[in-house]
Copies of this chain bind each other. A is one copy, B any other.
Amino acid sequence: MVIRPAGAEDAAAIWSIIGPTIRAAETYALPPDMTEAAAIAYWMGPDRRTFVLEEAGDILGSYYIRPNQFGGGSHVCNCGYMTAARAAGRGIARHMCEHSLNEARRLGFKAMQFNFVVGTNERAVRLWQSFGFDIVGRLPLAFDHPTHGLVDALVMFQAL
């Protein structure tokens, strides 16, 4: 597995990963009916660096890193990670999180924050905790899950 910066030529492969996750609407607070163009514009926007995880020419995951705020908040970064459904359970998110923490330090960020981790996404919460993230906030019933209904969302944070 290799993780490398994404280029425009990766957009179709990235959409094949993020499209189903956005449509499922279970883990990200994005419009479930977002068009491919809008989703790519978001995921690969000029305010962030986007990476892909590739294995034998096959893209199995993608993540972005960006400043979470501007001005006095720009030393804290934010990331989003998505894994291809066909590669679930193979540690793709773990590889990407590890890479992103190194990348964050390399870029000079002093902390990393996840703004909105859906509380029912327990595997993700445990994974982020295993990397040193603390739950620093709980947003009561802030996410309307398609099957669970209103559930809490978590704010997770770690100093770098």
Contacts and interface: CB of A to CB of B under 8 A. Distances in A.
Interface centre among A70, A72, A115, A137 (most CB of B within 10 A): A72
Interface stretch (A10-18, A89-97, A98-106, A151-159): A151-159
B113 A142 contact: yes
Which of under 10, 10 to 19, 20 to 34, or 35 or more describes the interface residues of A?
35 or more
Contacts of A157: 139-140, 142
| Copies of the protein in its oligomer | 2
Contacts of A29: 69-74
A137 B140 contact: no
Contact of A140 (B69, B118, B136, B138): B136
A141 B111 contact: yes
Given A137-B138, A155-B139, A157-B139, A25 B111 contact: no
Contact of A30 (B71, B113, B136, B140): B71
Given A76-B142, A136-B138, A139-B157, 5 more contacts: A29-B69, A29-B70, A30-B71, A76-B139, A111-B140
